[in-house]
């Protein structure tokens, strides 16, 4: 599914995942001492069941991107409306968020990132609440936490590579708005430089006699 983020074709509908243990293959390519006792698994979406984009925010985004690649404007609009409906102002409230389970009541950071990415691909302005939620999930070491609560705290979640890479990808595609932090920093630097130039010009101006 991640291939769609790179403009690659993915089959629709998206199927359930089959998990393959590829530890042996991995160890045949690497130093087994470096691999250690870890188990390496590969998730491939080729099972018989399908995942509904109306139930899962990430599936809606991947489906939207594939529709866009196929120039299916009707499908694109359907998916962006689905995502807009899932967005609560804090995060994506899809089926896993609403149902009882490990993700119940916890917004998934990568789904927020995917929503931001989908908006940018359609040239739709990304709400400040979306970028704010993403930036709040970045830890001191630069990694992004996998989930958060309605109060935008980490909700006891850890950081991981998948969430971090998706968050950075999404944020890099969001153009800085007039109220963004980067915009204010740039404006402040510009004003400071202008003031410095004015002071220099004033100091060099000859004194009238």
Distance CA 11, CA 4 (A): 10
Window from 60-64, 85-89, 123-127, 176-180 with minimum mean pLDDT: 176-180
* Nearest in space to 124 (alpha carbons), one of 89, 71, 157, 81: 81
Q: Where are the beta strands (DSSP E) in 27-82?
A: 41-44
Q: What is the 3-state secondary structure (H, E, C) of 98-125?
A: HCCCCCCCCEEHHHHHHHHHHHHHCCCC
What are the tens digits of pLDDT across the range 71-84? 999 999 999 999 99
Asked if 177 and 183 count as a contact pair (C-beta separation under 8 A), the reply is yes
- Compute and round to an integer the Cα radius of gyration of the chain: 23
On the question of pLDDT at 60 being above 60, the answer is: yes
End-to-end CA distance of the chain: 77
Q: If we measure between CA atoms, which residue out of 56, 45, 109 comes closest to residue 79?
A: 56
Confidence grade of residue 175 (pLDDT, cut at 50, 70, 90): confident
Structure tokens, 169 = 């990808």
Tell me the three state secondary structure of residue 3.
Answer: helix
């Amino acid at each position: 599914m991640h291939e769609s983020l790179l403009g690659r074709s993915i089959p629709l509908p998206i199927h359930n995942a089959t998990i393959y243990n590829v530890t042996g293959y991995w160890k045949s390519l690497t130093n087994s001492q470096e691999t250690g006792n870890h188990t390496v698994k590969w998730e491939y979406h080729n099972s018989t069941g399908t995942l509904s984009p109306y139930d899962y925010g990430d599936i809606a985004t991947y489906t939207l991107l594939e529709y866009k690649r196929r120039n299916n404007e009707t499908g694109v609009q359907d998916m962006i409306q689905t995502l807009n409906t899932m967005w609560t102002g804090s995060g994506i409230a899809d089926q896993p968020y609403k149902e009882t389970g490990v993700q119940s009541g916890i917004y998934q950071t990568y789904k927020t990132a995917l929503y931001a990415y989908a908006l940018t691909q359609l040239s739709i302005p990304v709400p400040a609440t979306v970028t704010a939620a993403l930036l709040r999930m970045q830890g001191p070491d630069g990694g992004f936490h996998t989930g958060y609560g309605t109060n935008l705290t980490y909700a006891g979640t850890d950081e991981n590579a998948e969430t971090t890479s998706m968050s950075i990808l999404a944020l890099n595609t969001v153009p800085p708005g007039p109220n963004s932090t980067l915009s204010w920093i740039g404006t402040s630097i510009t004003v400071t430089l202008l003031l410095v130039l004015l002071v220099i010009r004033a100091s060099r101006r000859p004194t009238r006699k």
